[in-house]
């Protein structure tokens, strides 16, 4: 009886969006364990680049998260016009490399941060949407708006991702907060596979952590990067150059 009461109280006190875990984060057991089983759907998560030059790395991390959580539903990427001018827009061939169909993504451009937050909330209420990405250049965000995003994500079990150009220490209702930056690749027969440093600096489910991740082109997923040198190999004749995730505006 007491245990049942404690369980009921815990559910009532649980922040919105943490009721279900959803797809495991990128299929990496070590990261999933830190997150209590995986990245929570029905919740808001913040991903910030270490600085503006690393926004492409943070964008790639966001796409990796989205691929695992969106299933066959639509993905809505909403960004301020200035963000599109500075960083470009998601590129079709780059989306293909992440296992995402270009026609699966709807890209929205807005002029003001408040318009972006409103558009995110409206998209999260749509049952056909599996994930909503909001790309912000401004650091200060209204706490009430963030709370509304968390509630909207929980209502439809959708994934809400807030992509920032730089880290923020402001209070937030986000279930997790990440800081992501590009990392040197391991040279092989040319430029090595893409690598990023992903730091989990806020986690309502458990411990924090930092991981060096590498993009596996064959399986279209992130894996823990090996710190050991890789043997050189002869490049295939028909190998094509890697495709950028984002195009030049």
Report the candidate in 45, 35, 18 with the shortest Cα–Cα distance to residue 206.
35
pLDDT at 171 (0 to 100): 78
Residue 135: is its pLDDT beyond 60?
A: yes
Among the residue ranges 20-24, 45-49, 78-82, 104-108, the one predicted with the least confidence is 20-24
- What is the per-residue pLDDT across 71-107, written as a single tens digit (0 to 9) for each? 668 899 999 888 777 777 887 777 877 878 888 889 9
pLDDT at 24 (0 to 100): 45
User: What's the burial of 71, exposed, middle or buried (CB within 10 Å: 0-12/13-18/19+)?
Assistant: exposed
Residue 42: is its pLDDT beyond 50?
A: yes
Phi then psi for residue 178, to 5 deg, are -120, 150
Question: CB neighbours of 121 closer than 8 A, spacing ≥ 6?
Answer: 145, 148, 149, 152
Global pTM reads 0.78
- Alpha-carbon distance of 172 to 98, in angstroms, equals 29
User: Coil, strand, or helix at residue 164?
Assistant: strand
Name the β-bridge partners of 64. none
Residue 12: is its pLDDT beyond 50?
A: no
Element (H, E) at 135: strand 129-136
Q: What is the homologous superfamily of the domain 24-184+191-224 according to CATH?
A: P-loop containing nucleotide triphosphate hydrolases (3.40.50.300)
pLDDT at 134 (0 to 100): 94
Mean pLDDT of 122-139: 88
- Alpha-carbon distance of 115 to 113, in angstroms, equals 5
pLDDT at 71 (0 to 100): 64
What rounded mean pLDDT belongs to the chain? 78
- Enumerate the domain spans of the chain: 24-184+191-224
Cβ count near 14 (within 10 Å): 11
Report the candidate in 242, 210, 243 with the shortest Cα–Cα distance to residue 225.
210
Question: CB neighbours of 54 closer than 8 A, spacing ≥ 6?
Answer: 180, 181, 182
Q: How confident is the model at residue 36 (pLDDT cuts 50, 70, 90)?
A: confident
């Amino acid at each position: 009886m007491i245990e049942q009461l404690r369980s009921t109280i815990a559910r009532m006190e649980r922040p919105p969006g943490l009721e279900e875990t959803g797809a495991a984060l990128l299929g990496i057991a070590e990261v999933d364990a830190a997150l209590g089983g995986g990245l929570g759907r029905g919740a808001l998560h913040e991903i910030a680049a270490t600085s503006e030059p690393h926004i492409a790395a943070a964008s790639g991390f966001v796409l990796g998260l989205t691929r695992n959580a969106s299933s066959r539903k639509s993905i809505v990427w909403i960004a301020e016009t200035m963000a599109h001018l500075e960083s470009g827009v998601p590129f079709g061939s780059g989306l293909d490399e992440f296992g995402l169909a270009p026609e699966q993504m709807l890209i929205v451009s807005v002029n003001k941060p408040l318009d972006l937050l409103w558009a995110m909330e409206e998209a999260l209420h749509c049952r056909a949407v599996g994930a909503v990405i909001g790309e912000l250049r401004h650091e200060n965000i209204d706490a009430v708006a963030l709370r509304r995003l968390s509630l909207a994500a929980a209502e439809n079990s959708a994934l809400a991702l807030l992509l920032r150009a730089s880290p923020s220490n402001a209070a937030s209702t986000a279930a997790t907060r990440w800081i992501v930056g590009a990392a040197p690749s391991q040279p092989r027969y040319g430029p090595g596979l893409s690598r990023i440093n992903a730091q989990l600096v806020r986690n309502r489910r458990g411990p924090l952590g930092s991981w060096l991740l590498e993009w596996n082109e064959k399986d279209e997923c992130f894996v823990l990067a090996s710190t050991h040198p890789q043997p050189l190999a002869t490049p295939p004749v028909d190998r094509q150059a890697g495709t950028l995730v984002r195009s030049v505006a």
